[in-house]
Amino acid sequence: MNNYFGIGIEAELCLDFHNAREENPNKFNSRLHNKSVYVKMGLRKMVSRKLCKDLHKEIRLEVDGKPVELPPLEGVIILNILSWGSGANPWGPEKDDQFNKPNHWDGHLEVVGVTGIVHLGQIQSGLRSAIRIAQGGESQPPGWRDGRGQEEKGKWREGKGR
């Protein structure tokens, strides 16, 4: 089991950063520089906005064997733990909704969505939480037409899917 699995804008940005670091490892030698590269890549993604614009229309998701209706978003992250992306908590603080308070031993996965690059930055800085989508014991990997996937420490480009 992985700690998280992402598709869409978050995974695309992470893959771009990973590829840049693989091409020029000497340039990625400080946290501050790495974060500035992420910001610069994110700004470029904000301008282009093509691959993940209507991701919610392009993928289908099942949790505990039931299809999940997705709101308009540009990324989906399936979490096994609450910490993601250098310590951010996309699930956010406890609130009164239909979901249980998550923890790392409950046997559940949390599924959240992001609406774009700005939303990712707000999650990273603790200003906002991701959109809570589902919570359950089992999730099928989302089926999508064309997208990128990212799991903790592993990045790839996925071709056309189911």
Q: Calculate mean pLDDT across residues 27-52.
A: 82
Are 71 and 65 spatial neighbours (Cβ–Cβ below 8 Å)? Answer: no
pLDDT of residue 134: 93
Residue 127, domain member (yes or no): yes
- Digit-coded pLDDT (tens) for 102-149: 888 888 899 999 998 889 889 988 899 999 999 998 776 666 544 445
Give the per-residue SS3 of the chain.
Answer: CCCEEEEEHHHHHHHHHHHHHHHCHHHCCCHHHHHHHHHHHHHHHHHHCCCCCCHHHHEEEEECCEEECCCCCCEEEEECCCCECCCECCCCCCCCCCCCCCCCCCCCEEEEEECCHHHHHHHHHCCCCCEEEEEECCEEEEEECCEEEEECCEEEEECCCC
Q: Which domain holds residue 107?
A: 4-8+52-146
Q: What is the pLDDT of residues 45-93, one digit of tens each?
A: 877 766 677 888 888 888 888 889 899 999 999 998 888 877 889 998 8
Quick check: is 73 in a domain? yes
Ramachandran category for residue 87: left, alpha or beta (phi over 0 → left; psi -120 to 50 → alpha)? left
Q: Which residue has the higher pLDDT, 157 or 138?
A: 138
Inside any domain, residue 162: no
pLDDT value of position 152: 47
Domain count across the chain: 1
In a domain, 84, yes or no: yes
Question: Does this model's pTM top 0.75?
Answer: yes
71 within some domain: yes
Is 76 contained in some domain?
Answer: yes
Residue 23 has pLDDT above 90, yes or no: yes
Q: Is residue 93 part of a domain?
A: yes
Domain assignment of residue 134, yes or no: yes
